[in-house]
Structure 1
């Protein structure tokens, strides 16, 4: 019998090719299963007189069946049907290659997270530090993160997109340079600016100042980030009004936006234009004291009322008095009254509401 491990009998791979090795005690029944049942095709097989090794291709994979008794892996293949077990023990799962986005039911709760209480931020994608602002995720419906890049400089990011219902980025401190699909050349977000990242828009973070801080809010909490290695940003096409699943990209520039009266609260607000860009899905604004330092509000009728203290301090009135300082965040449950009191002159609050119009204040 020939030595199947010798270099003379082991076919070389072409440029850019790789194989997943599947152990196989008996080649014939396993080969028949992958070819006849799953639709793979044979690329190489040897030795000719008593085959024991075969390389197959299909479904975007290249597999190598060879002698061995190691635990068999699980393969996820595009398609529908019940799981199957191959003769070599490999488990075959059939999955939807593009499953629909699932948004879990809302589980309302009062949430208060304080910057001083910790825990400290954990390292996430591309070396960014993430502090969780809604630890229980409201049943998996929303996630909010306070993201920092302490050192600044180039960011080890890549062109990517998110399968998401809603996602926004608000720059709290420093600056960050970003680029978006069909939105022109890279630009810089400064403190007070924000962007709406509509579903599946390709984008990339390029560099940041030392001490960058942003607040990111997404729905649902658990969503996929997918790389797009074939797209180069910026794109040659410019289409600022492009529709992305009913939303359009939004870049809000704080210094170009006036402050207006915030209903009859004695506060004033700076609107971002998020309601129009999302066709009523979300409303994002910054509020601050003007003629008054306190206000009381009736309960809103919606999914989310999220607040993040950008500067200064105040007292949150909701089932008791809760002092707020810069970096603190809260969520008010639907149809529950709340208010702010004793706001400092420099107090500023980022307020995010879904859907837009669910709250008059």
Structure 2
């Protein structure tokens, strides 16, 4: 049975101990934990920078280490006397936003309702398979079984990330935002950069839509932080953005366009203009014409109901279908069902 006090070592072959030991201790700041035999040392265990190494005679791959540093310089790679390559990398590199590759995207639930297994038992369905050049990711996430979740306190290195509950409910907790709370269908949150959070529990059949930029971003665990923190800081700044919790039941509908209605979430203000999110529904009209936009993203997801998307032809829309309209193109909806609810996310 393994115990928390058990230690692991990375074995590196080393047939000439002293110069390699001098390199790791003198140049990289490792310390000697074990060394033997005393009269002619050939084996040593050393530790430093979050790793424990064992140097001992032998053949094979001398290994490749990545050492994260505050200021590693550019492209530095060192080689120890035993042949081990040490790559010096930045400990906290900036978020890289790939260039946008505009494209019209139409993802139909009926054509591919399957999902892939993701983190913490979540099933992910990709809504923008091409990722617009790697700039955006949109996922239709479900937790079929519900219940308590094996999630942990974590955060994301992102520019923009939001979560909208389509069906069911989910219990979550966020850093400095009070006690855990339940998000119901129609609710959403803005997860600003690096805010620590955890998903605690979900109803059977939970479905959410998550959109992030960039598409490829890191999820980092924070085992030192306990949530809730006991603080409520609604005005706290997280990387230039504010935490936002939108409660659909408390939000009025307002007129939008010619005959539609819109439920705003307040996301444009919380992101300081980076992204917006709102829900549309038919009012006096079943048709909606939209002018061309000049932004990065115009994303739509059919929460409920049906419609016909007009964009260089007609495209029937059903529940859980998603689309992206490229900049410079006018588009519209027609023949919308009375129960249509369309989630729109815009990055201007």
Tell me which of 232, 237, 251 is aligned to 1:238: 232
- Which of 48, 51, 71 pairs up with 1:58? 48
Matches of 2:68 and 2:183, distance apart in 1: 40
CA distance, structure 1, for counterparts of residue 220 and residue 267 of structure 2: 24
Instruction: Decide which moves more: 70-79 or 292-301.
Output: 70-79
TM-superposed CA distance for 1:16, in Å, is 5.8
Shift of the alpha carbon at 1:34?
A: 1.4
Find the counterpart in structure 1 of residue 254 from structure 2.
Answer: 260
The equivalent residue for 1:169 is: 163
1:35 is paired with a residue whose SS is helix
1:228 equivalent in alignment to 2:200: no
Alignment match of 1:72 (pick from 62, 65, 83)? 62
TM-score, structure 1 normalization: 0.92
1:170-221 per-position Cα deviation (integer Å, ceiling 9, x unaligned): 0000000000000111000000000000000000000000000000000010
What does residue 18 of structure 1 align with? 8
Write out aligned runs for 1:126-205 (5 A): 126-205=120-199
Match of 2:283 in 1: 290
* Residue of structure 2 equivalent to 1:7: none
1:30-84 Cα offsets, whole Å, 9 max, x none, are: 2122122322222221001111111112222221111221322211112425212
**More displaced 10-residue stretch of structure 1: 339-348 or 78-87:** 78-87
Aligned to 1:349: 342
Secondary structure of 1:147's aligned partner: strand
Indicate if the aligned counterparts of 2:179 and 2:230 stay in contact, CA closer than 8 A: no
1:216-252 Cα shifts (integer Å, max 9, x gaps): 0000101100000011110022211111011111110
Q: d(CA) in 2 for partners of 1:14 and 1:350?
A: 46
Mean CA deviation greater in 66-75 or 112-121: 66-75
1:29 corresponds, among 19, 22, 26, to: 19
Q: TM-score, normalised by structure 2?
A: 0.95
Distance 2:236 2:226 in 1: 18
Gap regions ≥5 residues in structure 2: none
Tell me how far 1:131 sits from its aligned partner: 0.1
Separation in structure 2 between the aligned mates of residue 155 and residue 68 of structure 1, nearest angstrom: 45
Q: CA deviation at 1:128?
A: 0.2
2-side partners of 1:324 and 1:255: how far apart? 26
What CA distance in whole angstroms lies between the structure 2 residues aligned with 1:15 and 1:311? 52
The offset of 1:17, in angstroms, is 4.0
Q: Deviations over 1:264-303 (max 9, x none)?
A: 3211010001011111111100001111111221111110
Deviations 1:127-164 (A, max 9, x none): 10000000111011100000000011001100000011
The answer to whether the aligner puts 1:97 opposite 2:97 as a matched pair is no
CA distance in 1, matches of 2:35, 2:189: 54
Deviates more, 1:295-304 or 1:172-181: 295-304
Structure 1, gaps ≥5 residues long = 1-12, 356-361
Residues 262 and 281 of structure 2 are in contact (CA less than 8 Å); yes or no, is this contact kept in structure 1? Answer: yes
Contact 2:290/2:332, CA 8 A, preserved across alignment: yes
- 1:251 lines up with 2:245 in the alignment: yes
The CA RMSD over aligned residues, in Å, is: 1.4
